[in-house]
């Protein structure tokens, strides 16, 4: 029997499902004697009770400060001894624990990750410490024009009543209401084995990965988790945009003003996703920032940075044009941004721009899969959005199939200045 070359097989990971619903994805690699662990639960800030925004974020800060029978100091000593520094992140949809370890330590580290996700201690003293840390971060962001503008754009785009319009890290008033009981209630209601995906990439066999994951998570009893609230209901779309959504946050002591000019777009499941991906690259990502960067920064010298970011999730996501400018240049920069937005929507992209963007995006894929951590992130995303185990191969064809007309349609569909929201923070006052 002849083997298929790796380049033709793609990543070709293995996927297993434990009896209690935990999903395991394994990609053995032989590049180094190490393993990346990425364990992600489908529970994020969207699970926050109304009026207690910041609960999921605060819980994520506590996962490595005591778990199971281990106190916070014991967890820290265990990790330090093995040179492991876990990254714990929470988004609107997920909570993730990611770490790199030596292959010989993989099973022991995975067992600790299991305790973090299954049985966080949330000791009262640690809750107070972590709450203070989050509050300090919020106060620091109050002095950052970039953070203020970015925080302001989401309620402008989605409204205060939509989950995406609420602050994922909470506010000082909501954080004060979050105690240990609220944290454990959220965990009990939303952390469940059938909502967990474990991705293991590195020097580990599929059989060893299955055995280690079963030992770490196999006894997590699905019956112990309430049925109510264990599956996030589909998100409602953002409301119809009112005209001229705009907020100015004067910060006269600052030297730079930050602009966020944004639109709601599409969900990740929309077949037009790849056309949007290419369109955004043309608008504000390619080279020094696409059309936005060339116009606002390079040609006119109005901005310290300028570009755009496109994110599509489980509901209509965002396309945000961002720029940092001198306060005296805010109006001119906004005019230039709107000019480029309108031109792309009116005229579409050129053949050369689309070809160049596609080359860039396709060329970036192999680089993103050069490390175990990069592969783990890619596989976790593919699992979250049900893109298939062969998504690394399918992605090449999907991007290559994007046409100039599809990019133009994506721009016309979304880049409508009357539907834009604008947030400005810094040494600027609305005229």
Pairing status of strand 245-250 against strand 421-426: parallel
| pLDDT reported for residue 1 | 27
The rounded distance, in Å, linking the Cα atoms of 384 and 313 is: 10
Pairing status of strand 14-17 against strand 95-102: unpaired
- % of the chain with per-residue pLDDT over 70: 93
Structural domains of the chain, with CATH: 11-224 (3.30.830.10), 245-426 (3.30.830.10)
Mean pLDDT estimate for the chain: 92
| pLDDT reported for residue 244 | 60
Mean of pLDDT values over 186-194: 96
Question: Edge-to-edge strands of the sheet including 245-250?
Answer: 245-250, 421-426, 257-264, 318-325, 303-311
Largest Cα–Cα separation, the chain: 74
| pLDDT reported for residue 6 | 40
Residue 178 has pLDDT above 60, yes or no: yes
Query: pLDDT of 402-421, one tens digit each?
Result: 999 999 999 999 999 999 99
| Other C-beta atoms lying within 10 Å of the C-beta of residue 55 | 22
| pLDDT reported for residue 278 | 98
The rounded distance, in Å, linking the Cα atoms of 257 and 164 is: 24
Which among 58, 246, 263, 268 has a CA at the least distance from the CA of 167?
A: 58
Q: How confident is the model at residue 297 (pLDDT cuts 50, 70, 90)?
A: very high
**Of 122 and 161, which is predicted with more confidence?**
122
Quickly list H helices, 244-309: 273-284, 290-292
Give pTM, 2 decimals. Answer: 0.91
| Other C-beta atoms lying within 10 Å of the C-beta of residue 429 | 10
Give whichever of 7-11, 282-286, 364-368, 382-386 has the largest mean pLDDT. Answer: 382-386
H or E, element range at 37: strand 34-41
Q: How confident is the model at residue 430 (pLDDT cuts 50, 70, 90)?
A: confident
Mean of pLDDT values over 325-353: 97
Q: How confident is the model at residue 238 (pLDDT cuts 50, 70, 90)?
A: confident
Residue 2 has pLDDT above 60, yes or no: no
């Amino acid at each position: 029997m002849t083997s298929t070359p790796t380049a033709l097989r793609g990543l070709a990971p293995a996927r297993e499902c434990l009896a209690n619903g935990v999903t395991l994805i394994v990609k053995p690699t032989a590049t180094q004697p190490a393993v990346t662990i990425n364990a992600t639960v489908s529970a994020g800030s969207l699970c926050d009770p109304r009026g207690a925004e910041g609960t999921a974020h605060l819980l994520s800060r506590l996962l490595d400060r005591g778990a199971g029978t281990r106190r916070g100091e014991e967890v820290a000593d265990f990790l330090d001894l093995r040179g492991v520094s876990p990254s714990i992140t929470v988004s609107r949809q997920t909570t993730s624990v990611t770490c790199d370890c030596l292959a010989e330590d993989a099973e022991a580290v995975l067992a600790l990750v299991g305790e973090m996700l299954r049985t966080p201690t949330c000791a009262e003293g640690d809750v107070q410490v972590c709450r203070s840390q989050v509050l300090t971060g919020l106060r620091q962001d109050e002095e950052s024009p970039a953070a203020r503008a970015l925080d302001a754009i989401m309620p402008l785009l989605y409204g205060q009543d939509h989950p995406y319009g609420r602050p994922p890290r909470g506010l000082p008033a909501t954080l004060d209401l979050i105690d240990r009981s609220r944290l454990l209630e959220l965990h009990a209601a939303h952390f469940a084995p059938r909502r967990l995906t474990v991705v293991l990439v590195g020097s580990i066999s599929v059989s060893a990965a299955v055995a280690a994951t079963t030992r770490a998570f196999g006894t997590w009893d699905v019956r112990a988790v309430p049925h109510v609230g264990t599956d996030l209901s589909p998100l409602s779309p953002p409301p119809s945009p009112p005209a001229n959504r705009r907020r100015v946050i004067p910060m006269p002591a600052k030297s730079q003003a930050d602009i966020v000019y944004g639109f709601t777009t599409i969900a990740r499941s929309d077949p037009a996703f790849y056309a949007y991906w290419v369109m955004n690259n043309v608008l504000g990502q390619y080279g020094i920032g696409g059309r936005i960067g060339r116009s606002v920064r390079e040609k006119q010298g109005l901005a310290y940075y300028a570009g755009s970011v496109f994110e599509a999730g489980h509901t209509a996501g965002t396309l945000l044009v961002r720029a940092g400018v001198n306060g005296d240049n805010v109006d001119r920069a906004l005019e230039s941004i709107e000019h480029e937005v309108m031109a792309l929507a009116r005229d579409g992209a050129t053949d050369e721009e689309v070809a160049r963007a596609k080359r860039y995006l396709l060329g970036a894929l192999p680089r993103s899969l050069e490390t175990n951590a990069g592969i783990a992130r890619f596989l976790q995303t593919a699992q979250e959005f049900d893109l298939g185990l062969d998504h690394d191969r399918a992605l090449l064809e999907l991007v290559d199939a994007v046409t100039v007309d599809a990019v133009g349609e994506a721009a016309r569909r979304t880049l409508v200045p009357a539907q834009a929201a604008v947030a400005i923070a810094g040494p600027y006052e609305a005229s």
